Chain A
Amino acid sequence: MVTIEINNRQVKAQNGEYILNVLKREGIRVPTLCHLPDLFPSGACRLCVVEVEGVPGLVPSCAFPVSEGMKIKTHSPRAIRARKTIVELLCANHPDDCLYCVRNGNCELQRLAEELGVRERRYSGAKNEYKIDTSSPSIVRDPSKCILCGKCVRVCEEIQGVSAIDFIGRGSRAYIGTAFDEGLNISSCINCGQCITVCPTGALREQSNLKEVVDALNNPQKIVIVQHAPSISVTLGEEFQLKPGTDVIGIMNAALRRLGFDRVFDTAFSADLTIMEEAAELVHRLKNGGPLPMMTSCSPGWIKFVEEFYPDFIGNLSTCRSPQQMLGAVIKSYYAEKQQIDAAHIFNVAIMPCTAKKFEAERPELSRNGRPDIDAVLTTRELARLIRMRGLDLRELEPEGADTPFGERSSAGKLFGVSGGVMEAAIRTAHYYLTGSELPLVKVQELRGLSGIKEMHLQIGDYKLGVAAVSGLANARKLLEQIKNGRKDLHFIEVMTCPGGCIAGGGQPFTTNQEILKARMKALYEIDRDALVRTAHGNRYIQRLYQEYLGEPLSATSHELLHTHYFERKVLK
């Protein structure tokens, strides 16, 4: 421990830790644009500069270690002037079109310009002019709004292990681009949208499907059915200034009906359905010699990652479609038949925490008779935009339930929203399949929390199983390399593309704050703790679906509607 002085106040700190960490702990905010928690500092934006007594220039607090007796001034006139100048220079070649920007109101550059009192255009440079890359079904890149903080590049490389983008060119002509300046759609991009969540400006955004959805809602011919993913109810509130982790499920159902959706279903129902199939598949693989370890298939970024980088593991992926696609298929078959609706009139909308889901919905193998099972995917942020556009006040709405039969879920399905949740839900049902009895302690603590790799060994009946839950594909890469090199103790692996799972998905309200992610996670755990039905096989609407239509898990009908296949993708990587 060392004692340092910040703004004339004595503070204790670890010797060698970065000044910025100490400032955060002490509740002193210096602005940053390029800082990513837990990653090696890049020191690119210089906004966090502070004065350190005895050091001639200003130092970047994100990358400068503290030492005994150090005297720091965080908001001296010199530091503030430097920050303001940096923002003014960043604005000099920026398109300066806030009114027309998707990030208007939650842009970090805009906020800093406001905070630092930038009121005149002191510098005027040639405006950035780059082509907008709209080639991807998930992500739109507009390099002219980019301030070259480099966070997208680092997330793509260091967190996701993908490296679809990098700095191209040099100096004032540098920009973020793909190899050979190809469109993102044919790069190795896995569509996860983590780049969007860290982007401080409007340079990266989701490919919006709001127009298609609004058109469908206004089309009297269409029966517009909406499903919402397990994590949406605990994150949507943040867009409306509610405390992070507030569960707005009932209000969201009500809002969706006000928006004009004809049926409101819960993707957590089909998460239960996924568990029925996936646990059965696991048991089948255990009894019939593999391929093992089986790997989960609900996270579409991960699926594309395997298809591109690890095609040898395609056989290990569960053949189960994701909950989004399962529900889409069941709505356009079983439900359409039961309700005597022509499936061609159904417009399936999915509210997802995820940009990769937009890509998944477009996969040709996930359509039947030329009709996609899911017609449009909206992110949490897009839903919030739609709610605001329609002028709905969430505080005025009374909570409502979702529609039967796909509105009833167990809390196991709800756990899909967090890393480790699919595994926990699957263990509950696999235990039942293998032993005929319920897991004595329903909660599986070892698989909970924000850690990137969680592993455990457990005994279920005659089987001693090794399971792992990983999130962030750089972590998945580590595990796959271990397995490639002969590791044999794992039987079942859950992989979530985004670090922490869907609660931190690329379509969620903007945050990189770990405390907010923890609050979202906790909310889902609390829903599970308080639920009456905590296993997928205990969901009586799931039981009825099998009785009336599917038969049993892994039946021929199940295979047609609920399972899929994958193929190797050759992309620039």
Chain B
Amino acid sequence: MNDKVEEILKAYPEAHRDALIPILQEIQQSEGYLSREAITRVGDYLKLPASKIYGVATFYNQFRFQPIGRFHIMVCRGTACHVKGSAKVLETLKRELKIEPGQTTRDGLFSLEVVACLGACGQAPVIAVNGEFLAKVEPDKIRNILQFYRRKVMDNAK
């Protein structure tokens, strides 16, 4: 993984602090998240303290600090989904998975992310699992949805 970070940094010769966000974005694109190692390395490279980079990265919702799960769930919190009850959907997912947005379950199966709009307002409320859209999600269906993916993994393991 360090090689990939080094490769990304190579494209920013003599970079200063203003290159921080694009670099972090590229690392996340490549690694799926910002690891401690990656942040420390970027800090060395840009001569920025780790606390500062962590501060900048936590300012933006887009950055995560844990690897994404096998199933990455994006919850739409756009206006239409909000009207159709996406707050409840998110609440249920948090409770069922026992994680907050930005985190990954301990078994590495699920990760959660809140996004502003998935662009499928007609199907609100929408969530997307690994890019696959699930329409008109009702909170009391969520347990079944999660069970479906868990079973998928078990079936694959057989």
Count chain B residues whose beta carbon lies closer than 8 angstroms to a beta carbon of A: 15
* Chain A contacts for B59, CB-based, 8 A: 167, 169-170
Tell me if A142 counts as interface (CB < 8 A to partner B): no
Could you tell me if B50 and A572 are in contact, using CB atoms closer than 8 angstroms?
Answer: yes
The proximity string for B residues 34-62 relative to A, scoring 1 for CB distances below 8 Å and 0 otherwise, is: 00100110010000011111110011100
Q: Is B71 an interface residue (CB 8 A)?
A: no
* Residue from the set A177, A178, A180 with the largest chain B CB neighbour count within 10 Å: A180
* Contacting residues of chain B (60-78) with chain A, CB-CB under 8 angstroms: 60, 65
Most chain B Cβ neighbours within 10 Å, of A165, A177, A572: A572
Interface string of A152-190 (1 = CB under 8 A from B): 000001000011111111100000011110000001100
Residues of A within 8 A of B54 (CB): 166, 168, 177-180
Q: Which of B39, B40, B51, B60 contacts A178 (CB 8 A)?
A: B51
A170–B58 alpha-carbon span in the complex (Å):
7
A61 vs B39: C-alpha distance in the bound complex, in angstroms? 38
A163 touches B49 (CB 8 A): yes
* A167 proximity list for chain B (CB < 8 A): 55, 59
B55: A residues at CB distance < 8 A: 166-168
Q: Does A540 contact B (CB under 8 A)?
A: no
Could you say which residues of chain A place their CB within 8 Å of the CB of B36? 180, 572
List of B residues within 8 angstroms of A163 by Cβ: 49, 51-52
Beyond A169-B58, A169-B59, A170-B58, is A572–B40 a contact (Cβ under 8 Å)?
A: yes
- Kindly state the separation between the CA atoms of A178 and B50 in the bound complex, as whole angstroms: 8
Task: Say how far A148's CB is from chain B's closest CB, in angstroms.
Answer: 12
The tally of residues in A whose CB lies under 8 Å from a CB in B reads: 18
A572-B40, A573-B43 known; A179 and B53 CB under 8 Å? yes
Question: Are B58 and A164 touching (Cβ within 8 A)?
Answer: no
Q: Which of chain A's residues has its CB closest to B54's CB?
A: A179
Closest Cβ of chain A to B21, distance in Å, is 14
CB within 8 Å of A: which B76-115 residues: none
A333 CA to B47 CA in the complex, in Å? 46
Instruction: State A164–B49 Cα separation when bound (angstroms).
Output: 8
- Chain B minimum-CB-distance residue to A572: B50
A188/B49 in contact, CB under 8 A: yes
Nearest Cβ on chain B to A121's Cβ, whole angstroms: 28
Give B78 Cβ to nearest chain A Cβ, in Å: 19
Report yes or no: B65 in contact with A166, Cβ–Cβ below 8 A: no
- Shortest Cβ distance from residue A570 to the other chain B in the assembled complex, whole angstroms: 10
Contact partner, A166, options B39, B40, B49, Cβ 8 Å: B49
A8 to B40, CA, bound (A): 55
Q: What residues of chain B lie closer than 8 Å to A572, measured between beta carbons?
A: 36, 40, 50-51
A189 to chain B: closest residue by CB = B51
Chain B nearest Cβ from A123, distance in angstroms:
24
Q: Is the CB of B58 within 8 A of A573?
A: no
A165 B51 Cβ-Cβ under 8 A: yes
For B40, the closest partner residue in chain A by CB is: A572
Q: Which chain A residues border B53 with CB–CB below 8 Å?
A: 179
Cβ contact within 8 Å between A166 and B43: no
Q: Give the nearest-CB partner of B39 in chain A.
A: A179
| Min C-beta distance of A150 to chain B, whole Å | 11
Distance in Å: Cβ of B46 to nearest Cβ of chain A: 13
Instruction: Write the nearest CB–CB distance from B131 to chain A, whole angstroms.
Output: 27
Q: Which of A180-211 contact B (CB under 8 A)?
A: 180, 187-188
Hey, which chain B residues are within 8 Å of A177, CB to CB?
51, 54
Q: How many Å lie between the Cα of A166 and that of B57 in the bound state?
A: 12
Fill in one digit per residue for A313-329: 1 if any B CB lies within 8 Å of its CB, else 0.
00000000000000000
The complex places the Cα of A166 from the Cα of B52 at a distance, in Å, of: 6
Q: Residue among A166, A187, A573 with the most chain B CB within 10 A?
A: A166
Measured CB to CB, the closest approach of chain A to B28, in angstroms, equals: 16
Closest beta carbon of chain B to A141's beta carbon, Å? 13
Q: Contact between A168 and B58 (Cβ–Cβ < 8 Å)?
A: yes
- Select from chain B the residue with minimum beta-carbon distance to A173: B58
CA distance A165 to B36 in the complex (A): 16
> A166-B55, A572-B40 known; A180 and B49 CB under 8 Å?
no
Cross-chain contact B51 with A187 (CB below 8 angstroms): yes
Considering the chains assembled together, what is the distance between the CA atoms of A167 and B55 in angstroms? 5
Once the chains are docked, how many angstroms separate the CA of A573 from the CA of B40? 8
- Which residue of A is nearest B61, CB measured? A170
Residues in B neighbouring A166, C-beta threshold 8 A: 49, 51-52, 54-55
Given the known interface contacts A168-B58, A170-B59, the answer about A573 and B65 at a Cβ–Cβ threshold of 8 Å is no
Q: Select the residue from B36, B51, B59 with max chain A CB neighbours within 10 A.
A: B51
Residues on the B chain within 8 Å of A179, using CB: 39, 49-51, 53-54
Distance of B33 from chain A, by nearest CB (Å): 12
For residue A175, give the distance in angstroms from its CB to the closest CB of chain B: 10
**How distant is the Cα of A162 from the Cα of B51 in the complex, in angstroms?**
10
Q: How far is the CB of A315 from chain B (nearest CB, A)?
A: 23
- Enumerate chain A residues within 8 angstroms of B51, measured Cβ to Cβ: 163-166, 177-179, 187-188, 572
In the complex, what distance in Å separates the CA atom of A162 from the CA atom of B39?
Answer: 17
A interface, CB within 8 angstroms of B: 157, 162-170, 177-180, 187-188, 572-573
- 11 further A-B contacts with Cβ under 8 Å, apart from A177-B54, A187-B51, A573-B43, are A157-B49, A162-B49, A163-B51, A166-B55, A168-B55, A169-B58, A170-B60, A178-B54, A179-B53, A179-B54, A180-B54
- B interface residue numbers (CB < 8 A to A): 36, 39-40, 43, 49-55, 58-60, 65
Leading 8 A-B pairs by shortest Cβ distance:
A163-B49, A179-B50, A166-B55, A166-B51, A179-B54, A179-B51, A572-B50, A170-B59
Can you name 13 A-B residue pairings with CB atoms under 8 Å? A165-B51, A166-B51, A167-B55, A169-B58, A178-B51, A179-B49, A179-B51, A180-B50, A180-B54, A188-B49, A188-B50, A572-B50, A573-B49
